[in-house]
Structure formats: C-alpha cells, structure tokens
A and B are shown apart, each in its own frame.
Chain A
Amino acid sequence: MRQRSLIAITAALAAGALTLTACGSRDSGKSSDSGKGGGTTVTIGVDAPLTGDLSALGLGIKNSADLAVKTANKQNYVKGVTFQIQALDDQAQPSSGQQNATKFVADSSVLGAVGPLNSSVAESMQKVFDDANLVEVSPANTNPALTQGANWQTKKARTYKSYFRTATTDAVQGPFAAQYVYNDAKKKKVFVIDDKKTYGAGLAATFTQEFKKLGGTIAGTEHINPDTKDFSAVATKVKNSGADVVYYGGEYPQAGPLSKQIKAAGAKVPLVGGDGIYDPTFIKLAGSNSAGDLATSVGAPVEQLPSAKEFVANYKAGGYKEEYAAYGGYSYDSAWAIIEAVKKVVEDNGGKLPSDARAKVTAAMQNVSFDGVTGKVSFDEFGDTTNKQLTVYAVKNGAWAPVKSGTYTG
C-alpha cells in the first residue's frame, strides 16, 4: 500500500511538472498565424520600376509594401479584411505608369496604391487616380509640384487630393544639399548637370538657387541624355570649367558612370546628388574614385531609428531576395498608411467596407497618424509628409556613410 501511494505521488508530481511545462508556453510576440483577416480582400496596388536600371529601388518598394501587408494580415489588423498587393512594373516610364494606374482603377478591390518611384511617372498617374478617388501614397517622389502645384515657389496650391507622399520634397532637399556643400564642404564653384527629367531638373534647380544665394558660383550647366552612358564630352567641360564640385540632378544609373568619367577626365572633384543616387549601385558604377562623392537622402540614418531596426529584421526574416534599398522604410510606411485609412473606414462603418470605400479611404488618409518605420507618419494640408528629415551621405570605404543630418521645422 505504501508503495502504491508512492507511485501515485510520483506520477502526480511528474504529471504536474509536465503540465506546468506545457502551460508555460511563452508569448512569442506573434499572433495567430492564420494570416487571414477573413471576409473581404482589399488590394493595395504597387507601381514601381520592377525591371530595368532602377529596379533595385523598385523591387525594394514592392517587397517593403508586401511586408506591410503580410504584417497586417498576420496581426489581423483590420478585422474582416485581408490585404494583398498587386505589383505592376512601370519601367520608370510615364506612359507605363499611366496604364498601370488605369488597371488599378478598373479593379474594384484596389483601395489604394503605393508608388511610384519617379516624379515624372507620378505626374502621369495623378489625374487617373484622382478622377477615381483612389488614394496614392508615394514613398519616393520628391518634386514639390506634385503636391504644391506648378507655381509652388510663389503660391502653393494642392492639385490632387488623392495624392500623398512619405518622402520629403526637393524644396528642402536641394537647399539642404547647397547649404552643406557651400558651408560644410567649403565648395564655392559648382558645375550643375541634370537629366532633363521632372525629378532631376527640379532638384538641380532648387540646389542651384540656394547655392547662388549663399554666394556660390555656377561654373557651368549641362543636360545629359539618360539613354546614353558616354558622358566624356560633359566630363571634359567640367574639367575645363575649374569647378570644385559637380551637382547632378538625376539617378544612379547615369550618375555612376558620370562620376567615373569626370574623374577620368582629370577633374578630381566630388559629385553630389540627391536621393536618386543614394544606392550602392552608384558606388559600383562610379568605381573606386567615387570616395568623397556625396548624396542627400530623405530621412534619418536607419541605425538611429529603433523602429527601422525592427523593419530591417522583419525584412530579412521575410526572405526577400532584393535589398529594401533607399525607400524601403518609406514604402512600408506608405502601405501601412493605406492600411490605417482602410481600418478607420471599416471601423466607422460597423466593421464593413462602405460602398464608397475609395472616397472614404482617400478622405481618411488626411488624418492618418502613426509611428512608422521612419518616425511619425502624418500628412500636411498638401499631402506632404510632416516628417522632414534629411541626411547627407558620403562614399567612404566603398559604402555610403552618414555625415550630417538635418530636420526641417519651418
């Protein structure tokens, strides 16, 4: 009898220990992995260059929007709604972007779009989206006219109420670069080159204006054809001008070879550009002589943002083949802004999407506010981001390294 009692006690203790072990399941921070919000499927369109020279940036935009959608589904963030993305390739061409915008509009499940990368492409898409009340949030467009109208320098006027962006504008980026180049880098004579596109020409103009105001000299100006890679004639002009710095308004597929050819022509001067050249591909194309070249880009350095660290970890865990690149955080935040707007509309309508969901989502976007990857995400009366940080990066040891950050608080 004594032995039986002992066996019973032993069994009870062991069972208790096992039960405790089993009950001690940890909160892993992950919610149900069903990945389904149920009922309605909402599509978020993504438009970016997924092929071609700028695909490094475009694929980063697509993947980051995809990560946002997967995260929302995993968290069942909007009850009754499952999100999906539909990514279309604009090849950095305005005509392709416009066709993609038309496709998104025709699909009634699309309640918002992330993109595009290029300001020139955005110009061709804005009216299509606006006519359909379909909200668009660009993570990368920096041309001021997209939000503030063509005469933004004299009289700001919003043209499209459906257009928003999470990247700050060249109205700040160009002068920010000019201030750094003139005051910090002590360069007083600049040769300005652009690719004649909306983004490049606009950025070069805002840089030039501020550089001159500061007392700097314009040693020369040139426009290049972005379809070629032979810039030897321009490089020779730079050399002969005596400029101590080159400012380029454009993107890295041309900026890289341009920097290389300018140095090869004998002008050992830094090339400076905007967020369009802030990509590792620039350094690969420009070669080892690119050390000291500079780029401004939107936002603070990733390592300064705890929220961005989480994004980087989740992106890595997501198994995406391509880097998230310069606009990854802004793309995630753009997609999340749409998700927040959909959430607001659904919650205000008793848990269901209303029949005029697109118009309501567009209206809700104006008041969206959340702590995103890139900091506080919200929009001003023009649809511009209220988070206006910029950073100067320099090529050091074959990589971009932050050298100065600034915040626009005007």
Chain B
Amino acid sequence: MSGVGPVEPGEGTHAWDDPGASPPSGPPHGRLAQLYDRHRPALLAATAVAALLAGGGYLYATRPQKPPPPPPPYPSQVVSVTYLAARPAPRGAPPRSFTLSVLLSVESGPPVTVTRIAQPYAGLSVASAPLPPFRTNAGATRKIAITMRVTECGKVPENAGLPFLDVTLRNTRAMEDHSYILGSRYAHDLSVALHVACGNLSR
C-alpha cells in the first residue's frame, strides 16, 4: 500500500464531533472577559496613560540635574599677600615707628574681608592703612601700609630669616588665620628698620 490511511486519534485527542467530548479550549468567556470586552477601549486608554505617566515620572525623577555649584574656596586659598617696599612712616606716627607696604590680591571667589593684621613678636605693635576690616573683591588688589611700632626692643628679633605677617581672612566660606611668609627682602627691610628704631639694637 502506498496510500496513507486515516490518522487514528492519539492519546488525549478527541474527535470534535464526539458528543461526549468537551469543547476545545478557546478564549475565556467568564465575567472578567466579558468585563474586558465591554470596557476594552477605556482599559487600553488607561493603560496607555499609566505607561505614559510611569515613563514621564521616571524621566522626571532621573532628569539630568546640574551638579550643585562647588562651595566657595577657603579665603587662604585665593588670597595672596606679597611684600612691596619700605616706606616712610606716616606723619604723626609715634617714635620708633616704620612702615612696610604689602599688596593683597584676591584671585577668585566671593569678596574677602581682612579682619585683622598682626605680627607675632611681643615687642612690636601693628597698625595698618586701610584699617581692618576691609573688603577686597575677586580680581582686585589692595595696597596696605603696615606701620609697626617698637614697644620693647628686647622683645623683637634682630634678624629673623622668614618673619610672618599674620592675617585673619573671612569670606562666605570661612574665617581663617593665615600666616604670610613674605621672603628674604621683607626680612631684610624689617631687620634694618628694627635696628634703626632701637639704635642698632643696643638694648
């Protein structure tokens, strides 16, 4: 035989015309299905709106945000103080006074206020023009005349190598005490002025 006969039903298969067989499974037609059929347009629209809201919400929540601006720099990191030269003491200055001028510059950031200028030696008092507190903007410079008066010759250094100028600085970030080491020319001029003020330091 070369022909192919009718295929016998396999295990678990049923003839559709068998009155005892259950109908083939198809789409459910329960209450939920009926509800879905009835409200399909509204449900699909609601799903679309929900998807849009979810997508939009995600995008909003994770939107690119500008990083917060960096905090302003510490004042000591943007202020430079350099020595200029010795100058005559102002008229009317007390005896044993002398003046050394410095240049203060603010590189960047918010304005910086100088609230104090001092030096560490016990035998010296300091005044300055302008008088603290004074403010300097970023990019600006300010000449400061520092007038020192020897109050006790025995308490000043004869020839300090790297004397400090102590300055208190304030900006919107912080208030800081910072020492400026003005170098050998400042040290030399300070030493000369001290020797003159104290009669060559014959104390």
Contact = CB atoms under 8 A, between A and B. Distances in A.
B73 interface: yes
Given A17-B55, A305-B77, A405-B76, A213 B181 contact: no
Given A13-B52, A20-B55, A21-B58, A210 B161 contact: yes
A155 interface: no
A65 interface: no
Main secondary structure of the interface of A (DSSP, over half): helix
A300 B47 CA distance: 59
Q: Which among A184, A213, A214, A409 has the highest number of chain B CB atoms within 10 Å?
A: A409
Given A10-B44, A27-B64, A214 B160 contact: yes
A2 B47 CA distance: 16
Interface in B152-188: 157-164, 176-187
Interface stretch (B78-86, B89-97, B129-137, B141-149): B78-86
A319 interface: no
A14 B51 contact: yes
A9 B54 CA distance: 17
B164 to A, nearest CB: 6
A408 B183 contact: yes
B80 A6 contact: no
Contact of A14 (B48, B73, B186): B48
Given A210-B160, A210-B161, A213-B160, A20 B41 contact: no
A179 B162 contact: yes
A22 to B, nearest CB: 10
Interface string A162-184: 00000000001001100100011
Contacts of B88: none
B33 to A, nearest CB: 15
A351 interface: no
A132 interface: no
Contact of A409 (B52, B58, B81): B81
Contacts of A410: 83, 162, 181-187
Main secondary structure of the interface of B (DSSP, over half): mixed
B202 interface: no
Contacts of A405: 76, 176, 178-179
B40 interface: yes
A407 B58 CA distance: 50
A387 to B, nearest CB: 11
A242 interface: no
A4 B142 CA distance: 77
Contacts of A14: 48, 51-52, 55
A184 B179 CA distance: 11
A215 interface: yes
B178 A10 contact: no
B12 interface: no
A28 to B, nearest CB: 10
A396 to B, nearest CB: 17
Interface string B40-74: 11001101100110111011001110000011011
A287 B126 CA distance: 41
A324 to B, nearest CB: 20
A3 interface: yes
B179 A210 contact: no
A406 interface: yes
A30 interface: no
A404 interface: yes
Interface in A388-410: 388, 404-410
A21 B162 contact: no
A9 B162 contact: no
Contact of B179 (A17, A305, A306, A406): A406
Contacts of B51: 10, 13-14, 17
Contacts of A388: 181
Given A7-B44, A175-B162, A210-B161, A18 B185 contact: no
26 contacts: A3-B44, A6-B44, A10-B48, A26-B64, A175-B162, A176-B181, A210-B161, A213-B157, A213-B161, A214-B157, A214-B160, A300-B76, A300-B77, A405-B176, A405-B178, A405-B179, A406-B164, A406-B179, A407-B80, A408-B183, A409-B81, A410-B83, A410-B181, A410-B182, A410-B184, A410-B185
Given A210-B161, A409-B182, 11 more contacts: A6-B44, A13-B52, A26-B62, A183-B164, A210-B160, A213-B161, A404-B179, A405-B76, A406-B180, A410-B182, A410-B183
Interface of B: 40-41, 44-45, 47-48, 51-52, 54-56, 58-59, 62-64, 70-71, 73-74, 76-77, 80-83, 120-121, 157-164, 176-187
